[in-house]
């Protein structure tokens, strides 16, 4: 989860953790990249649009493009870019958000980080 607002991020982290999710928090793009690169498995990325949510998604998608990513926003729905979903903080309930997280974290988008590449040999 990437959110520069500690209070807002803390509430969301608490909500997710009390529902059984393990949450890795970051307050900046640099922290998010470091966590993403070192975490054994990241099933879902949640990020606020401000200040650099679209950049967070763009950079993390370059590392592991199959990981689902949700963009949180306030006000009018923005162009979500590479995000897989956008959720309004003002019009979505906590239950709506939890359901979106549940569904998207279950998606199988590609190989897991710890998976080793499988190579086959071709005889000529």
Is residue 122, in this structure, part of any structural domain at all? Answer: no
Is residue 49, in this structure, part of any structural domain at all? Answer: yes
User: Global pTM?
Assistant: 0.71
Would the pLDDT of 108 be above 60?
Answer: no
Would the pLDDT of 110 be above 60?
Answer: no
Is residue 40, in this structure, part of any structural domain at all? Answer: yes
Is residue 117, in this structure, part of any structural domain at all? Answer: no
Place of tokens 């690169």: 37
Q: For residue range 31-56, list pLDDT tens digits in order.
A: 888 887 887 677 888 887 776 778 88
Overall number of domains in the chain: 1
Could you give the C-alpha distances from 101 to 7, 83, 115, in angstroms and in order? 20, 13, 23
DSSP state for residue 122 in the 8-state scheme: -
| Both tokens assigned to 61 | 């998608």
Is residue 116, in this structure, part of any structural domain at all? Answer: no
Do residues 23 and 35 touch, judged by C-beta distance below 8 A? no
User: Which residue range forms the structural domain that includes residue 65?
Assistant: 6-106
Among the listed ranges 11-15, 32-36, 72-76, which one has the minimum average pLDDT value? 72-76
CA distance 55 to 52: 5
Is residue 118, in this structure, part of any structural domain at all? Answer: no
Is residue 121, in this structure, part of any structural domain at all? Answer: no
Is residue 95, in this structure, part of any structural domain at all? Answer: yes
């Amino acid at each position: 989860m990437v959110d520069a607002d500690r209070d807002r991020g803390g509430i969301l982290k608490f909500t997710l953790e009390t529902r059984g999710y393990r949450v890795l928090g970051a307050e900046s793009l640099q922290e998010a990249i470091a966590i993403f690169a070192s975490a054994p498995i990241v099933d879902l990325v949640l990020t606020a649009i401000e200040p650099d949510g679209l950049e967070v998604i763009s950079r993390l998608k370059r590392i592991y493009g199959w990981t689902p990513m949700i963009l949180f926003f306030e006000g009018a729905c923005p162009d979500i870019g590479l995000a897989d979903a956008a959720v309004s903080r003002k019009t979505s309930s906590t239950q709506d958000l939890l359901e979106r997280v549940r569904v998207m974290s279950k998606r199988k988008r590609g190989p897991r980080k710890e998976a080793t590449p499988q190579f086959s040999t071709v005889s000529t």
